[in-house]
């Protein structure tokens, strides 16, 4: 059960590509940070959820085995949406 934190600058394609990225990683839910500051994300993380944020997270994937922290351009490449 993977949890994904997708980050990148505004207007970089995070929300537009969220459903495709969520499906690629097996996430069933999408949470767009909106009003939640990124420092609160660790408390909000739930399994099989894609979290979208404009902020670079202050934590890394290796802190939890079931967590993927990935920048939008890297996610697009992994999903085959970008070369």
Return d(Cα 60, Cα 22) in angstroms, integer.
19
Q: Encode pLDDT of 15-46 as tens digits.
A: 999 999 999 999 999 998 765 555 666 667 78
pTM over 0.85: no
Nearest alpha carbon to residue 51 among 9, 5, 15: 5
Assign 82 a pLDDT band (cuts: 50, 70, 90).
confident
Between the alpha carbon of residue 21 and those of residues 4, 60, 64, the distances in Å are 9, 19, 20
pLDDT score recorded for residue 76: 96
Domain boundaries, the chain: 3-78
pLDDT score recorded for residue 41: 65
Asked if pLDDT for residue 58 goes beyond 90, the answer is: no
pLDDT score recorded for residue 26: 95
């Amino acid at each position: 059960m993977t949890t994904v934190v997708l980050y990148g600058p505004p207007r970089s394609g995070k929300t537009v590509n969220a459903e495709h990225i969520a499906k690629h990683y097996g996430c069933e839910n999408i949470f767009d940070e909106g009003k939640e500051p990124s420092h609160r994300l660790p408390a909000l993380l739930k399994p099989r959820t894609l979290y979208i944020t404009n902020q670079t997270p202050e934590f890394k994937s290796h802190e939890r085995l079931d967590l993927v922290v990935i920048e939008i351009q890297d996610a697009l490449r992994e999903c085959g949406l970008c070369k």
